Amino acid sequence: MQIRYEITPSDHLEMLKAKFGVSVRLTSFLLEIAGTCLGIFSYYFFGGGWFIVIVVFATFALIQLFLPHIIHRKIYHQNPSLFDMRTVTFSDEGLRSERASSTVEAKWSNFARFKETKNLFLTYQSKDVVGIVPKRAFPNPEAVVQFRNLLASKLPSK
Please state the rounded mean pLDDT for residues 69-83: 66
pLDDT at residue 63 in the model = 66
pLDDT tens-digit readout, 30-53? 666 676 666 767 666 666 665 666
pLDDT at residue 23 in the model = 47
Whole-number mean pLDDT of the chain?
Answer: 77
End residue of a domain, out of 78, 97, 115: 78
The range of the structural domain enclosing residue 128 comes to 2-7+82-154
131 has a pLDDT exceeding 50: yes
End residue of a domain, out of 78, 101, 117: 78
Whether 86 and 35 map to the same domain: the answer is no
Q: What is the DSSP string of the chain?
A: -EEEE---HHHHHHHHHHHH-HHHHHHHHHHHHHHHHHHHHHHHHH-GGGHHHHHHHHHHHHHHHHHHHHHHHHHHHH-GGGGS-EEEEE-SSEEEEEESS-EEEEEGGG--EEEE-SSEEEEESSSS-EEEEEGGGSSSHHHHHHHHHHHHHHS-B-
57 has a pLDDT exceeding 70: no
Percent of the chain having pLDDT more than 70? 59
